Amino acid sequence: MPSRSASRVAARYRERVARIRALVDTRIIALYGDTIDPAAIDASFARFIDLIEPLIAAGQASVAVTAAAAVRSIALAERDELLEVDPDEDAIAGTTREGRSLRDGMAAWGPMVLGQIAAGRSADEALEYGSYLVSRFADSELTGAGDRELEHQGREIGPLSGWEGIVQPDACDPCQENAGVHELTWSAYRHAHCACVVVPVFG
């Protein structure tokens, strides 16, 4: 189990990542309202994606650097060892968990909203669905940036032996499976706006 000081680092990490996620979400939802035109959905989604792609990429880079700093702080607390931790934010920012470009990951939004209208939804309902897709995607890819950076650190740091998942008291049942110590090959279960935290365990 992590020491008390390492647990404090993990809590600060969660809070900082949550602030980045909230800031990005607020900005992209405001841009969504200002940009998406129900009379020109395809064209306005193309403009919207141009605007938010660099915003999400910047958020990913910030989360990756924050994750690397958390690893360094936890190593110092657990092992009294100052590690050289090089974040991999350049490889992470601008890409999805699957390694595609963010633009590829966002390309289906316009057609999906149009599909809602074709299925009989009102324009307002379809645009609300689009807003949900946008928010879910951005949040998932920011959380994924932290997880991917931790995986990078797991490959780079010799004394790292596993991961501990820290879940919130009101976490859903699938997230409860994240709790406890896991092997290095483990990947956390994630859903949109997931509040679980993954921290390194040093052997």
pLDDT of residue 184: 81
pLDDT at 203: 66
Q: What is the pLDDT of residue 22?
A: 95
* pLDDT of the residue at 11: 83
Residue-wise pLDDT tens for the chain (203 aa)?
Answer: 556 767 788 888 889 999 999 999 999 999 999 999 999 999 999 999 999 999 999 999 999 999 988 888 877 776 666 667 777 788 999 999 999 999 999 999 999 999 999 999 999 999 999 999 999 999 999 999 999 998 887 777 766 778 888 888 888 999 999 998 998 888 889 988 888 888 888 76
User: pLDDT, tens digit, for every residue of 100-114?
Assistant: 999 999 999 999 999
CB-CB contact of 31 with 52 (8 Å): yes
At residue 40, what are phi and psi to the nearest 5 degrees? Answer: -150, 65
Q: Among 79, 64, 66, which residue's Cα sits nearest to residue 161?
A: 79
Strands annotated E in 16-60: none
pLDDT digits (tens, 9 = 90+) for 122-143: 999 999 999 999 999 999 999 9
User: Rounded to 5 degrees, what angle do the CA atoms 144, 149, 152 make?
Assistant: 130
CA distances from 99 to 20, 144, 153, 176 (A): 22, 11, 18, 27
Question: If you ran DSSP here, which 8-state letter would residue 109 be given?
Answer: H
pTM of the model as a whole: 0.88
